[in-house]
């Protein structure tokens, strides 16, 4: 019974979508992809409003000094940081791709 209880525990551990090991967050499956996509979508919403001839101004709060007002999508993308680490990772992926294509 001891062996079967341990094997059940291991199988449950394999099924969980999120694991935290030594300060790192590892997510698998649809839940992990959904969290990354949420960060990409939030970044897209913030940057897309600056695009085109009807682009709008975006105000960026800074830790020091007055807030910055800009229409530049690159500046907006570089200044965005999310509190959720997986959403932040999705936004970082988009930033890296944008930097590599230029």
Tens digits of per-residue pLDDT, 73-98? Answer: 888 888 889 998 889 999 999 888 88
Confidence category of residue 19, pLDDT binned at 50, 70, 90: low
25 pLDDT above the threshold of 50: yes
DSSP assignment letter at 16: -
What was the pLDDT predicted at 44? 92
Q: How many CB atoms lie within 10 A of CB 69?
A: 9
What was the pLDDT predicted at 40? 93
Burial class (CB in 10 A: 0-12, 13-18, 19+), 25: middle
| pTM for this predicted structure | 0.70
What was the pLDDT predicted at 92? 92
Distance CA 35, CA 92 (A): 13
Tens digits of per-residue pLDDT, 36-65? Answer: 999 999 999 989 998 988 889 999 888 888
What was the pLDDT predicted at 41? 94
């Amino acid at each position: 019974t001891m062996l079967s209880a341990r094997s059940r525990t291991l199988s449950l551990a394999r099924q969980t979508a999120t694991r935290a090991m030594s300060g790192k967050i590892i997510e698998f499956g649809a839940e992990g992809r959904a969290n990354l996509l949420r960060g990409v979508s939030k970044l897209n919403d913030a940057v897309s409003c600056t695009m085109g001839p009807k682009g709008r101004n975006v105000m960026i709060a800074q830790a020091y000094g007055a807030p910055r007002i800009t229409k530049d999508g690159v500046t907006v993308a570089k200044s965005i940081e999310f509190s959720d680490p997986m959403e932040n990772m999705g936004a970082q992926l988009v930033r890296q791709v944008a930097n590599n294509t230029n």
